[in-house]
Structure 1
Amino acid sequence: MTRWLGVALLPRADHLHAAVQLQRDIGGEVMLQPVLHPNGNLPHVTVFQGPFSDSLAPEAALEVISASMDGSGLCSEISLTSMGLVYQPTGWLFLALERPPLLEVLQKAALAVLERHLDWAFDEDEDEDKDMSRFTDDERISYERYGYRYTGTAYAPHVTLGRTEESTALELVRTARGGVTLPRQWTFDRLSFYVMGEDGAHAKTLLERPLGQA
């Protein structure tokens, strides 16, 4: 049976609530989807997500992925600098974050553990019909290899702030840049294994592992 799962960095409590509020502030009268909530769809930075077979053992995988950060100088938190609010086709609003080498190491470790458990038989018809016309070349290569748009050189750390009709999303990005204050730093203190919901949302936490845990 195919399971749609992901690995993510979760923000510490105050920044989690700040991200929930940021979605509301940017959307205004527009309810961006999926709606972020501290006890529901959690704000997060995806490391990797996709369809997995039953051969995947999330607890063992998360332990190996976490161990890849040993010796990195990481303690119990990692702070990432905001690169601003960006529009991503089609209709997405992202809070873009910096991509330090540590995150590249983390994603490579995740791919090394998870790739062999990807379930490529999940829905061949849906995969063939995937619209990649507005993907970059790197994003297309990433998707064709892993079933996920943002890996390797295409990796783009971000907090998804939601999706709406394309023209509306473009207008929200334009107006937010002049009227919404974005926190400069975002701090993350946990790794999670999660069940994907609507549009890849962090719908349910399967496992959490504090950063820096031996």
Structure 2
Amino acid sequence: MTRWLGVALLPCDDDLRSALRVQNEVRGPDGLRPALSVDGNLPHVTVFQGPFVDSLDPRQELDRISASVDLPPSVRLRFAGIVYQATGWVFLSLERPPLLEKLQQATLAILDPLLDREAFDSSKDTSAFTDSEQASYARYGYRYTGDAYAPHITLGRAEDEVAREIVRSAPDRTSVPQTWTFDRLSFYTMGEQGAHSETLALWHLDPS
């Protein structure tokens, strides 16, 4: 049986609440799906997600990932804008420092043998993807790896024109912290639109 799972950085409590506020302020009357919450779909920055074999042990693999990269007690990322991503996505975009690239590379190296490649959707329309995103999807079943890696907090998805209008109006609807702090690494179950719907294993960057 295929398991749809992901690895992500989770924001500190203050920034978790900031993400919920920003989504609520920008979503407008038509809304963005799914709604973020403190006890359901957690705001997060995906390192990698996709289909995995049933035998994967989230706790074991998260321990391997955390041991393979020298992470600081917290990861601080600069805000890069609220952006539209085809098709219909609204992202709170963040910078991509070398540390995140190393974390993703280590994660891919560890999890690659556990991917269920038979579950990749070969019929998926990738015409809106960039060349690097298409290459990423073909190799890993995930759009954002390597050159295509785009750290972000997903604010949600809507009809395409609704999403574009949300992005256009976002500066008038909300204020966004210029720096975001992440203090945990999570292995999670993917929910609606790839949401962080259930935490399977958690690793605190600061062991104290």
TM band (smaller chain) = over 0.9
1:6 and 2:42 correspond: no
Give the whole-Å Cα distance in 2 for the aligned partners of 1:68 and 1:80: 21
Pick from 115, 118, 123: which aligns with 2:115? 118
1:17 and 2:17 correspond: yes
Give the whole-Å Cα distance in 1 for the aligned partners of 2:57 and 2:150: 26
Give the whole-Å Cα distance in 2 for the aligned partners of 1:149 and 1:96: 15
Residue type of the alignment partner of 1:198: E
Q: Is the 8 A contact 1:68 1:105 kept in 2?
A: no
Structure 2: unaligned runs, 5 residues or longer:
none
1:90 and 2:87 correspond: yes
The percentage of aligned residue pairs carrying the same residue is 58
Instruction: Map residues 96-175 of structure 1 onto 2, 5 A cutoff.
Output: 96-122=93-119, 127-175=121-169
Offset of 1:181 from its aligned partner? 1.1
Structure 2 equivalent of residue 53 of structure 1: 53
Give the whole-Å Cα distance in 2 for the aligned partners of 1:204 and 1:143: 24
Give the whole-Å Cα distance in 1 for the aligned partners of 2:83 and 2:45: 15
Instruction: Map residues 20-35 of structure 1 onto 2, 5 A cutoff.
Output: 20-35=20-35
Larger deviation, residues 199-208 vs 29-38: 29-38
- Any idea what the Cα deviations from partners look like across 1:142-179, whole Å, max 9, x if unmatched? 00000000000000000000010111111111111233
Structure 2 equivalent of residue 40 of structure 1: 40
Q: Is the 8 A contact 2:53 2:116 kept in 1?
A: yes
Structure 1: unaligned runs, 5 residues or longer:
none
Q: Is the 8 A contact 1:85 1:96 kept in 2?
A: yes
Q: Is the 8 A contact 1:2 1:53 kept in 2?
A: yes
Give the whole-Å Cα distance in 2 for the aligned partners of 1:30 and 1:21: 16
Offset of 1:51 from its aligned partner? 0.4
Structure 2 equivalent of residue 205 of structure 1: 199
1:193 and 2:193 correspond: no
SS in 2 for 1:8: strand
Residue type of the alignment partner of 1:211: L
Q: How many equivalent pairs are there?
A: 208
Q: Structure 1 length normalisation: TM-score?
A: 0.94
Give the whole-Å Cα distance in 2 for the aligned partners of 1:120 and 1:69: 26
